């Protein structure tokens, strides 16, 4: 390339990067496309165009540009890391797994790269392949407690499996870290339950939860103050929708962890006009960033309409980026949306709200049995704190039902699994969609599922988990005592 041409292209590239950094996507894309006419095989230009496509929620273009960049630099670490996400987003699991394989080959001693591949296999429903990889890793790294827990999240350990002995040995190792012992304890609890040794389950769970609580304590007083501040900021304000519905309408599916929100989301997303967003986790973060104060949120009535409209646009832009949807419904089942339902109803005309209820005792057992990312659900490691958090959630639902009459659709998990069709029809109508029979066969839709329910949501609706708490009624005594006299239903 001639020096003058090289200098000009570098200047154009730098200009495009500045525009991209300033959020001027159209200008950046125009400049990069101009460069591409001269350098059609430039991996760097294709990579930057993939970033623009990602910000716009154009998953197909993002993957196309990543593929073009990889054709030139197949061993580039950053490109392969981006490829994992880009290909998974369009359902190209083979492409994502190939990128994993290139990263593993480049970093053969990095166990995390191999675990990431195993998780991708699980999310894609390729449980046998994930099991094979994880067992291989366990043989090489028997001290890594998280490997056992990840494997057993989607696998039942048969009686006599040598992994049981391996876990017990690893747990007894005096050099094992608290983190490793925590993961091993969750895994042993799952294995003993699967094998029917019910009397040993909670001994493992108590140890696992105590270790995680040590790593991430829960501050109940702070949570009470925070929740009260959020509700107070919205109470008494005008909650009527501001403006007209946008082409992309959110459906906020909210419930406690392990209450059935993933099931409800997958039913909605089986509709041809809906897309599953999962736990987008943008609504509350954006609210705090835009309207947060030292004590909570600024009073909703004091926030200018233009700022609320910008908040709505920021949320919609991120939902579009993460899901690729540009119209129709997109579900958002982020756990912490319920404290700001008033703001969401005001800011997002056309938004729908679905609350999923389940017997609190079943929720409590399931939360206590499952590992959540350390720090994500700090209350989950103590049965009395779980009771407090479920009660807070139910109180918030009652608060919003009184202030947003007729807006919230409630569904009980037990009713849904006992008689799916009428509950599903009512759900689909409540989110503003016409009926499609495919909503009853959501489990056939395929796709990637990143949730603790990754195995269950690939099955037809079943009743087996209803009243599962009864076999642990004695161990649930601290939860039941903390629950007090409030009705279960």
Report the DSSP beta bridge partners of residue 186.
none
Q: Are residues 236 and 375 in the same domain?
A: yes
Q: Which of 182, 215, 248 is the last residue of a domain?
A: 215
Looking at the predicted structure, is the pLDDT value of residue 446 above 60? Answer: no
Q: What span, in angstroms and rounded, lies between the C-alpha atoms of 57 and 247?
A: 14
pLDDT digits (tens, 9 = 90+) for 364-404: 999 999 999 999 999 999 999 999 999 999 999 999 999 99
SS3 state at 332 = strand
Listed residue (19, 23, 372, 21) closest to 32, CA to CA: 19
Dihedrals phi, psi of 263, to nearest 5 degrees: -60, -50
Q: DSSP string covering 65-93, please?
A: HHHHHHHH-TT-HHHHHHHHHHHHHTT-H
Residue 458 binned pLDDT confidence (cut-offs 50, 70, 90): very low
Q: Are residues 283 and 373 in the same domain?
A: yes
Cβ contacts of residue 361 below 8 Å, gap of 6+?
A: 469, 476, 479, 480, 488
- Residue pair 212/381 in contact (Cβ under 8 Å)? The answer is yes
Q: Are residues 418 and 319 in the same domain?
A: yes
In a domain, 113, yes or no: no
In a domain, 429, yes or no: yes
Q: DSSP string covering 206-217, please?
A: HHHHHHHHHHS-
The whole domain housing 387 covers: 221-483
pLDDT digits (tens, 9 = 90+) for 132-188: 999 999 999 999 999 999 999 999 999 889 999 999 999 999 999 999 999 999 999
The chain-wide mean pLDDT, for the chain, equals 93
The CATH number for 58's domain is: 1.25.40.10
Q: What is the pTM of this model?
A: 0.91
- Measured CA to CA in angstroms, residue 174 lies from 170, 180, 181, 349 at distances of 9, 11, 10, 57
DSSP category for residue 463 = -
Torsion, CA 217, CA 218, CA 222, CA 226, rounded to 10? 120
Q: Are residues 248 and 269 in the same domain?
A: yes
Q: What span, in angstroms and rounded, lies between the C-alpha atoms of 333 and 330?
A: 10
Cα four-point dihedral sign 160, 166, 168, 169: positive
Would you state the pLDDT for residue 460?
61
Pairing of strands 248-254, 328-332: parallel
Dihedrals phi, psi of 411, to nearest 5 degrees: -140, 135
Looking at the predicted structure, is the pLDDT value of residue 220 above 50? Answer: yes
Average pLDDT over residues 261-287: 96
């Amino acid at each position: 390339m001639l020096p003058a041409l090289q200098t000009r292209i570098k200047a154009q590239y730098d200009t495009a990067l500045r525009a991209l950094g300033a959020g001027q996507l159209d200008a950046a894309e125009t400049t990069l496309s101009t460069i591409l006419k001269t350098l059609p095989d430039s991996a760097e230009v294709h990579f930057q165009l993939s970033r623009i496509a990602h910000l716009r929620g154009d998953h197909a273009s993002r993957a196309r540009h990543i593929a073009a960049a990889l054709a030139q630099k197949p061993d580039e670490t950053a490109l392969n890391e981006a490829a994992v996400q880009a290909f998974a987003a369009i359902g190209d699991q083979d492409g994502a797994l190939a990128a994993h394989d290139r990263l593993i080959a480049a970093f053969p001693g990095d166990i995390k790269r191999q675990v990431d591949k195993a998780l991708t296999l699980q999310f894609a429903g390729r449980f046998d392949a994930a099991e094979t990889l994880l067992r291989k890793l366990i043989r090489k790294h028997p001290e890594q407690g998280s490997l056992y827990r990840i494997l057993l999240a989607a696998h039942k350990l048969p009686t006599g499996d040598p992994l049981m002995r391996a876990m017990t040995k690893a747990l007894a190792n005096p050099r094992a870290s608290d983190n490793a012992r925590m993961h091993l304890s969750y895994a042993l609890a799952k294995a003993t339950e699967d094998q029917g040794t019910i009397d040993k389950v909670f001994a493992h769970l108590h140890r696992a939860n105590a270790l995680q609580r040590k790593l991430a304590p829960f501050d109940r007083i702070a949570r009470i103050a925070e929740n009260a501040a959020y509700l107070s900021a919205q109470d008494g304000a005008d909650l009527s929708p501001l403006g007209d519905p946008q082409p992309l309408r959110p459906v906020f599916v909210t419930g406690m962890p392990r209450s059935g929100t993933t099931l409800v989301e997958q039913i909605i997303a089986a509709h041809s006009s809906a897309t599953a967003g999962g736990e987008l986790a943008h609504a509350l973060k954006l609210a705090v960033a835009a309207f947060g104060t030292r004590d909570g949120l600024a009073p909703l009535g004091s926030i200018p309409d233009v700022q609320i409209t910008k908040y709505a646009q920021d949320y919609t832009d991120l939902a579009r980026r993460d899901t690729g949807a540009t119209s129709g419904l997109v579900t958002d089942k982020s756990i912490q949306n319920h404290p700001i339902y008033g703001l969401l109803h005001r800011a997002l005309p056309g938004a729908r709200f679905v609350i999923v209820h389940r017997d609190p005792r079943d929720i409590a057992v399931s939360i206590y049995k499952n590992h959540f990312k350390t720090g994500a659900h700090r209350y989950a490691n103590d049965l009395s704190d779980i009771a407090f958090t479920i009660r807070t959630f139910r109180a918030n639902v009652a608060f919003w039902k009184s202030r947003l009459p007729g807006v919230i659709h409630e569904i009980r998990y037990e009713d849904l699994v006992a008689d799916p069709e009428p509950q599903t029809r009512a759900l689909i109508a409540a989110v503003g969609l016409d009926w499609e029979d495919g909503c009853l066969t959501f489990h056939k839709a395929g796709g990637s599922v990143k949730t603790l329910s990754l195995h269950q949501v690939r099955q037809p609706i079943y009743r087996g988990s209803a009243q599962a708490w009864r076999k642990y009624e004695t161990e649930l005594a601290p939860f039941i005592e903390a629950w007090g006299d409030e009705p279960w239903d």
